[in-house]
Amino acid sequence: MSILASEAALRDYLLAHDEKYRDLANEHKKYEARLSELSSLHYPNDEELIEETILKKKKLLLKDQMEAIASKYKTSVMSH
């Protein structure tokens, strides 16, 4: 199994079995959808530009938290 496939399998597993990971992923998806809306604006105002910057940072933080959960899971599986 390739690394990419195993990462996808781990993500699927965590989405199905880890509530915290699932909540983070859902929030990440909401931020992604809003960012998509904001990026489609031809002339965003200052408030929308600030919102976009904040959402990008929040989205990155969520991704880091999701990766920490995945890494912790990988470590616990390998130690058994």
pLDDT tens string 34-51:
999 999 999 999 999 999
What is the model's pTM?
0.87
pLDDT bin (cut points 50, 70, 90) of residue 78 is: confident
Q: What is the mean pLDDT of residues 5-23?
A: 94
Higher per-residue confidence, 5 vs 21? 21
Locus of tokens 């530009």? 49
Tokens representing 47?
A: 């408030």
pLDDT of residue 1 exceeding 80, the answer is: no
